[in-house]
Amino acid sequence: MESWNQTSTDTVRSHVPEEVNKRIDEHVERCVRHMAQQERPEISRYLKKLEREWDLNRAVMVVGSLAAVLGLWLARRDGRGWQIFGGTAAGLLLQHGLFGFGPLAELVRAVGGVRTRREIDLEKFALKALRGDFERIPKNDGGPLARANAALVAAQS
């Protein structure tokens, strides 16, 4: 499946190395291909799992906040040098909030493979299409691979 993910204008995707985006896209493709061979109840179970998945913004806020609190706590306990750590974390959170992206987001995405809300939603829409929620996806024409490709393309539109 070539270039089904047309989110190139996404700020996060444009600032992260292409290998990271490719790894995340390949994971989505594998999941959708696998789900194309499953029955509706299994697809529904997986959709519920996706509903609970943390997106990049949430993960960055948690990681950044934990780092800031840890810096404050260590500064109080072990000396003022740790204030720089906490202040840097707070600054990275501010940058992420203002610009929608920053080094902390790149780190969380690269290390944890955390996806943006849009990427998670694309997978959800593709799976809903496979489940039969939309009319644009062929029921049995072309097999599971063709259905998975059609679902990914439909999720983009």
What are φ and ψ of residue 145, in 5° steps?
Answer: -65, -45
pLDDT of res. 1? 43
CB-based contact 32:127 (threshold 8 Å): yes
pLDDT of res. 78? 86
The amino acid occupying position 144 is P
pLDDT of res. 86? 92
pLDDT of res. 2? 47
Query: Can you list the residues of the chain whose pLDDT is less than 50?
Result: 1-3
Question: What HEC string does the chain produce?
Answer: CCCCCCCCCCHHHHHCCHHHHHHHHHHHHHHHHHHCCCCHHHHHHHHHHHHHCCCHHHHHHHHHHHHHHHHHHHHHHHCCCHHHHHHHHHHHHHHHHHHCCCHHHHHHHHHHCCCCHHHHHHHHHHHHHHHCCCCCCCCCCCHHHHHHHHHHHHHHC
pLDDT of res. 151? 75
**Ranges of each domain in the chain:** 17-156
